[in-house]
Amino acid sequence: MTEELDAVSAVLKKKLGIDLGCYQQGETQYLLTEKLRDLAKEFPGQYQNLLRAEETEINLFLDWFTNNTSFFFRDPLVFANLEYRFLPMLIKRVEKNNRGDLRIWSAGCGLGEEIYSVAILLDKILPDEQKKNWNLSLFATDINSRNLELAQKGEYPVERLEHVPLGRLQKYFIKNNKEEIYTLSKKICEKVTFSYHDLTSAKHLTPSEAVFGSFDLIFCSNILLYFSNETRKVVLNRLQDALVPGGLLVLGSSEHLYWNPGSLIPVENGLKIFQRST
């Protein structure tokens, strides 16, 4: 199985640019071994050839490997804190500095639920004048390009909306008549720029569309837990550098700051939000 594993890893690196070495070895190897074992029954001894040749199979593999489970307002406590404490704080700081822009990045955005949740909150709390005059830069990136395309469409099964209060559901979503699919309003979808960005890539610190870092708020939730310790360090260093002083980093509820690059401070015990101090 090790040989097959190496062969598949090499194909993934070449075809998709994914470096399995950046992920938790034990977990990744276990998952891959299980997957290969299943597939060996279906395509004995030739799965890596299939990966080499078939785009469909590679895409299926990518979908399986990049778990995109997410929900709107996934962690209600985090989003309540953002709505009532931290977004108003960031908005005030932008006003004070006369910057005229607010920059937010969802790294490893899956199908976009996280960045769209923030866009909905901003639609509610940003005063009309700022809405008109400010440059709102909302970036969302991932390594699964097909999911990025889907995210842009803003169509979601009802299960992903279970934390959306009824008022917001009625205001921002339209229910498809036949299926349990909800479409997010165009006004919100249009605010977000989706693009490919590999957090482990040595080439780009932040999404190239963002031109430069200087983010007020970065989400990197439910991704670091899949990375190796070495990769976590590299990524956390970069994320800290991509924040403006006073900017915030949000991790997933089951994650922690695996490594402190120096100036990330928890805003409150138990809440996975960290502020760049300098």
Ligand X SMILES: C[S@@+](CC[C@H](N)C(=O)[O-])C[C@H]1O[C@@H](n2cnc3c(N)ncnc32)[C@H](O)[C@@H]1O
List contacts with ligand X (CB under 6 A): 66-70, 74, 108-110, 113-114, 142-144, 198-200, 221-223, 252
CA pair distance 165, 161, nearest whole angstrom: 9
Closest approach, Cβ 106 to ligand X, in A, equals 6
> Is residue 6 classed as helix, strand or coil in its secondary structure?
helix
Which residue, 16 or 94, has its beta carbon nearer to ligand X? 16
Which residue, 49 or 69, has its beta carbon nearer to ligand X? 69
Closest approach, Cβ 92 to ligand X, in A, equals 26
Closest approach, Cβ 51 to ligand X, in A, equals 18
Closest approach, Cβ 66 to ligand X, in A, equals 3
Which residue, 130 or 152, has its beta carbon nearer to ligand X? 152
CA pair distance 152, 164, nearest whole angstrom: 19
Closest approach, Cβ 181 to ligand X, in A, equals 19
Closest approach, Cβ 278 to ligand X, in A, equals 27
CA pair distance 132, 19, nearest whole angstrom: 42
Closest approach, Cβ 251 to ligand X, in A, equals 9
Which residue, 75 or 134, has its beta carbon nearer to ligand X? 75
Contact 103, 158 (CB under 8 A): no
Rg (CA), the chain: 20
Which residue, 102 or 220, has its beta carbon nearer to ligand X? 220
Which residue, 111 or 189, has its beta carbon nearer to ligand X? 111
Which residue, 94 or 242, has its beta carbon nearer to ligand X? 242
